[in-house]
Amino acid sequence: MSDIHWPVIVILLPLAGGVACFLWPRRSVLLGLLTALGVVACVAGLGWQVVEQGAQRYAVGGWGAPLGIDLYADGLSLLMLTVTAVVGLGISVYSSGYFERARYGQDRARHFWPVWMFLWTALNALFLSADIFNLYVTLELLGLAAVVLVALAGGADAVSGAMRYLLVSLLGSLFYLLGVALLYHSFGSVDIAILAERVEPSPAVWAAMGLMIAGLLLKTALFPLHFWLPSAHASAPAPVSALLSALVVKASFYILLRLWLEIFPFANAALAQLLGLLGAAAVFWGGFQALRQTRLKMLIAYSTVAQLGYLFLAFPLASITGWTGALYMLLSHAAAKTAMFMAAGNTLYFGGHDRIADLDRAVQRMPLTMTAFALAGISIMGLPPSGGFIAKWLLLEAAIRSGQWWWGGVLILGGLLSAAWVFKVVGYAFTRSEAPHEARAVPATMEWTALLMAVLAILLGLFAPWLLALLEIGSPFNRENAG
């Protein structure tokens, strides 16, 4: 089994699945679910390979860099692929219920499955890319697929959200591409490993770095470049919101992390502090806005803005503990936010609205959905035992160890803000409303997937040592921060 080309299969399988869904739209649900299961199995195969043999470098078609396309899988890539596979499977199962009903009709379902499979292909390819130009291509594909999915909901809201998203996405990729061009021009390669050896500080490199980071920040929606995110994430259909918040914004963060650690390790401390500051601003602004929202999906979208801010706190901390904390935050946020959007989707499906003040009637009749929301909320606010708690602990520890305790203060206050809005919503589960309500039954698969994703976010709090051990395979963190 060790000589199977898992990296290629992991990319080609969802692509094939997408084509199949496109060709046989009537069977698209079945094909999509089968593909999702297959991808999970293949990622497991790749994971086994990486754990057994260490980081894998694979030259597609036998042509190595600088001519051919190289794929590279280390612990970090594997972790991202795993998150994508698990969340992707959850979203596929959820969608099989969500898109099957009258409101969304066969038409929407026909469009959803192929595009979602293409998006998954782009994500897997992105996490396996070994050069910055492939990263560009996959990022662009990812952005386009995501825009289509946002527009899928139909209606003015969704179209304007999608339009804004498209422009931002293109602009972000354009900035990134300019940076790639500058680097290629200066050093004659786009391979990350080669660039890591060659790149030295120079005006062109600074310009490239500035452009690439700006483009990626726009796509990751770091405050104050988050303006497009809430409308896009809130107006999309629930499973799409889930995958945008859980996976798509994380992809550009992943690229940023790779570049920062491998190509620009000389980036100065001031820039790191700036990223940290923007992250802190995002935590406060997102949390504060979330608290003010009157609609559940908008609230969850703003919470994504806040949670993305936490990821950037790792830059000024610049220690292994800090990076692992941020990545663990990414992981547990992916699971928890998926569960939350699914729960919101369920209430919307059930009651036809997501006004927070009128939620009581819906949530009381869907205890599973409510539980999913509450459990996900525990992880989001970082209370134990949950993945969010582990992440918060690691980041706090890194902040105190580095003597920069104020970043710890950001974590703490951000957690309190999240707690405020989570309990604002959860409080409705305990009101005494008995009023009858026109409602549609929610398919059991939708309730159970939401609950399972939330349970996963909680369980992440108990399996940290194993997942963190993955990161040490070909770890990009040790090179400069050996201490």
Partner 1 sequence: MNWDAALPLLVLASSLLPGLVIFFLTEERVATRTTLNLAGAVLKLMLVGVMIWGVFHGAHYETRLPLLPGLDLLLRADSLSMLFVVLSSILWLVTTVYAVGYLEGSPNRSRFFGFFSLCVTATVGVALAGNLITFVLFYELLTLATYPLIVHRGTDEARRAGRTYLVYTIAGGTLLLVGTVWLYTLSGTLEFTARGFLSGLDATHHWSLVVIFVLLVAGLGVKAALIPLHGWLPQAMVAPAPVSALLHAVAVVKAGAFGIVRVVYDVYGMQFSASLGVTLPLAIVAAATIIYGSMRALFQDDLKRRLAFSTVSQVAYIVLGIAIAGPIAAVGGLVHLVHQGVMKITLFFCAGNLAETLGIHKVSEMNGVGRRMPWTMTAFTVGVFGMIGVPPLAGFISKWYLGLGALDVGQGWVIFILAGSSLLNAAYFLPILYAAWFKAPAGTWPAERSFGRRETAWALLAPPLVTAFLTLALGLLASAPFGLLQWARFITRLEYAP
Binding residues (CB under 8 A) for partner 1: these are 367, 371, 378, 383-385, 389-390, 392-394, 396-397, 400-401, 408, 412, 415-416, 419, 423, 427, 430-432, 462, 464-465, 468
Min dist. Cβ of residue 464 to partner 1 (A): 6
Q: At closest approach, how far in Å is the CB of 402 from partner 1?
A: 10
Q: Decide whether 203 or 403 has the Cβ nearer to partner 1.
A: 403
Q: Which is nearer to partner 1, 233 or 392 (CB)?
A: 392
Residues 388/411, Cβ–Cβ less than 8 Å: no
Tokens at residue 329, please? 């935050």
Distances (CA, A) of 233 to 161, 181, 189, 302: 8, 31, 36, 9
Closer residue to partner 1 (CB): 187 or 323: 323
Instruction: Report, in Å, the least distance between residue 394 CB and partner 1.
Output: 7
Least separation in angstroms between CB 457 and partner 1: 14
- Residue (206 or 288) nearer to partner 1, CB: 288
Nearer to partner 1, 358 or 397 (CB): 397
CB of residue 216 vs partner 1: minimum separation in angstroms? 29
> Which residues, 6 or more positions from 475, have their beta carbon under 8 angstroms from its beta carbon?
74, 75, 76
Q: For residues 120 and 393, which CB has a smaller minimum distance to partner 1 in the complex?
A: 393
| Shortest Å, Cβ 367 to partner 1 | 8
Q: Which is nearer to partner 1, 24 or 430 (CB)?
A: 430
Min dist CB 416 to partner 1, Å, is 7
Q: How far is the CB of 26 from partner 1 (least distance, A)?
A: 36
The dihedral sign for the CA sequence 13, 456, 470, 176: positive
Residue among 266 and 406 whose Cβ is closer to partner 1: 406
Closest CB 379 distance from partner 1, rounded Å: 12
CB under 8 Å to 447, separation ≥6 — which residues? 346, 366, 368, 369, 372
Question: Quick check: 131 and 65 in contact, CB under 8 A?
Answer: yes
Which residue number, 262 or 397, has a Cβ lying nearer to partner 1? 397
- Minimum distance between the CB of residue 455 and partner 1, rounded to whole angstroms? 11
Distance CA 138, CA 71 (A): 13
Q: Shortest gap between Cβ of 465 and partner 1 (angstroms)?
A: 4
Nearer to partner 1, 167 or 416 (CB): 416
